[in-house]
Structure 1
């Protein structure tokens, strides 16, 4: 999508000041659906803008990761409010969040590949040439991410979509209370996670796609619980911890699976094919172990 073409860029202003408080910390049960959207979105947007600025001049590993997380949280938030935002507003915003997260993720993906290849080296795999090539690919990804993620464009885009969403919500649900709405959206995310978990657990050997679907559904639910925890019944602190533990297992498996796919799809002109194959063999062995651990977690939550 052409950001400049689809979204008229407004004049930059000081709408999004950096706010390190957790999103949702200022919510109350008396808040309306419309007012809570701004309270939840603003800290996440401010964090994304700040990280985009910082990444324009450096290639911090954690910075790219947290920028991708911020865009994922915004996608979850727009999904939560989609019944009142409408399909057009939701789709246009979330597709761009997805694209920006993917651009930020390019560097992060090569960081993960690099860490895994170093572990393979330490276990005795002779893949020195591939490790060096992966470092070069990571450097190229940094340049591409920095070129594609311009902080002024990111700020202007986020300014525009959040203001548009806020205007839509104020016209549709400005006086509706937040609690019942938040609880219904959390239940909907819980049902989606349960459905995907049961599908993944039905077969003895889970498929990668099924585990990936569980991981995405779990992230969405965790983000919504973190957003709405101050206004929904029951606290859900324990549920957030359990979801985080599940995500860690699924994330460890996803790192292996995604790294295998990335290496397979990349051309390494200076690396002999047998070196690439040695790395893929090591990854396959690790993937089997991590898939078993992830599948056990999924069967646990499915039950």
Structure 2
């Protein structure tokens, strides 16, 4: 795939380097919107590139997870700056971040499903064939991720994406302070989370999808608070703490729901149908327990 096709600007000769002495914690309200974007984006980009390079030879579950997180953080950052970056630039970059996160997430999804199946196996040894099959699927997912995530192409894409964003921002907001802008974008993310949380609390039909929407909105807000905390005023530590707690419950529920969907939509040639069905029934029972806990955590942040 030619990931440079949609990026008309010439590729920089050298990729952006991160000044490790300058982190988000060193940002101040005197920084401009443009310079703050660069300072926040480059460390995440560097991490994504290093993770992508490592995955060429490694199959560490945490590495796949952290690569997916890096792309999610970049999507949140581009959303925050979208009023100045423009819809087209934001959409192009965000779509590719989403695609790459999904490719990296394939292995992580089978890691989670495998862990859940091993837990189920403790109470029902007969599902061992499905546990073994999940290991094989995980190995296939690793090979697919490694084939699809070309670290050189990822590095070039990210360099071009940042170059385009920097050119745009420096041309229109290099002298505009970050504080008011950061507060406004955080407030918008907070409103979205509150709106989705209330909808989930009130919803009966499509409750699982509503909880998933809350989880995504919560992630976006958490990432923005982590990015902008040094330059926004207010007590956000309490918000971060509440978000972390809610995200934990929502994450556990999502892991089970996603694993159930993954197993239901996968063909296992060597696994008896009744074994798959017993595993799905076990996941459904656990999901029903987790959905209550997740719903309570959402109610707590919907007020």
Q: What TM-score results when the alignment is normalised by the length of structure 1?
A: 0.95
Unaligned runs of 5+ in 2: none
Pairwise CA distance, 1:13 = 2.7
**Partners in 2 of 1:155 and 1:29 — Cα distance?**
30
Pairwise CA distance, 1:3 = 1.1
Equivalent residues in 2 for 1:16-55, closer than 5 Å: 16-17=17-18, 19=20, 24-55=24-55
Task: Tell me the equivalent position of 1:80.
Answer: 80
Which deviates the most, 278-287 or 202-211? 202-211
**Partners in 2 of 1:127 and 1:188 — Cα distance?**
46
Matched, 1:278 2:278: yes
Which deviates the most, 228-237 or 270-279? 228-237
**Partners in 1 of 2:218 and 2:62 — Cα distance?**
22
Pairwise CA distance, 1:240 = 1.1
SS at match of 2:26: coil
Unaligned runs of 5+ in 1: none
Which deviates the most, 197-206 or 260-269? 197-206
Q: Is contact 1:253–1:290 with CA below 8 Å preserved after alignment?
A: yes
Task: Tell me the equivalent position of 2:207.
Answer: 207
Pairwise CA distance, 1:17 = 4.7
**Partners in 2 of 1:90 and 1:195 — Cα distance?**
23
Task: Tell me the equivalent position of 1:176.
Answer: 176
Q: 1:12–1:47: structure 2 CA closer, same or farther, 3 Å change rule?
A: farther
Pairwise CA distance, 1:123 = 2.1
**Partners in 2 of 1:161 and 1:281 — Cα distance?**
45
Matched, 1:118 2:106: no
Pairwise CA distance, 1:5 = 2.6
Pairwise CA distance, 1:27 = 1.0
SS at match of 2:25: coil
Q: 1:54–1:18: structure 2 CA closer, same or farther, 3 Å change rule?
A: farther
**Partners in 1 of 2:258 and 2:21 — Cα distance?**
31
**Partners in 1 of 2:184 and 2:257 — Cα distance?**
34
Task: Tell me the equivalent position of 1:13.
Answer: 14
Q: Is contact 1:16–1:45 with CA below 8 Å preserved after alignment?
A: no
**Partners in 2 of 1:158 and 1:231 — Cα distance?**
25
Q: Is contact 2:12–2:160 with CA below 8 Å preserved after alignment?
A: no
**Partners in 2 of 1:14 and 1:302 — Cα distance?**
43
Q: Is contact 1:18–1:46 with CA below 8 Å preserved after alignment?
A: no
